[in-house]
Amino acid sequence: MSKVLGTSTAPGGFRARLADAWARNDSLLCVGLDPDPARFPGAMRGRADRIFDFCRDIVDATAAEACAFKPQIAYFASQRAEDQLEALIAHIHERNPGLPVILDAKRGDIGATAEQYAREAFERYRADALTVNPYMGMDSIEPYLAWRDRGVIVLCRTSNAGGSDLQALSVEGGERLYQRVARLVAGPWNTSGQCALVVGATFPDELADVRRIVGDALPILVPGIGAQGGDIDASVKAGRTTDGTGMAINSSRAILYASAGDDYAEAARRVARETREAINRARRQV
Which of 3, 70, 106, 237 does the annotation list as catalytic?
Answer: 106
d(C-alpha 255, C-alpha 268), whole Å? 5
Active site residue 106: yes
86/274 with CB nearer its own copies: 86
Nearest CA to 219 among 248, 178, 187, 254? 248
163/246 with CB nearer its own copies: 163
- Find residue 151's DSSP bridge partners: 129
- DSSP state, 121? I
Return the ∠ at Cα 120 (arms to 146 and 63), rounded to 5°: 95
d(C-alpha 190, C-alpha 282), whole Å? 29
36/274 with CB nearer its own copies: 36
Residues that bind its own copies (CB under 8 A): 34, 72, 74-75, 77-78, 80, 82, 106-114, 116-117, 119-120, 123-124, 133-141, 155, 158-167, 169-172, 177, 180-181, 184
Strands of the sheet containing 102-107, edge to edge, are 68-71, 29-33, 247-251, 220-222, 195-199, 151-157, 129-132, 102-107
59/121 with CB nearer its own copies: 121
Nearest CA to 149 among 110, 114, 117, 192? 192
161/286 with CB nearer its own copies: 161
Q: Rounded to the nearest whole angstrom, what is the least distance from the CB of residue 19 to its own copies in the complex?
A: 27
Cα end-to-end span (Å), the chain: 44
Q: Rounded to the nearest whole angstrom, what is the least distance from the CB of residue 58 to its own copies in the complex?
A: 18
Q: Rounded to the nearest whole angstrom, what is the least distance from the CB of residue 12 to its own copies in the complex?
A: 25
Q: Rounded to the nearest whole angstrom, what is the least distance from the CB of residue 206 to its own copies in the complex?
A: 14
Q: Rounded to the nearest whole angstrom, what is the least distance from the CB of residue 148 to its own copies in the complex?
A: 19
- Active site positions, annotated: 106
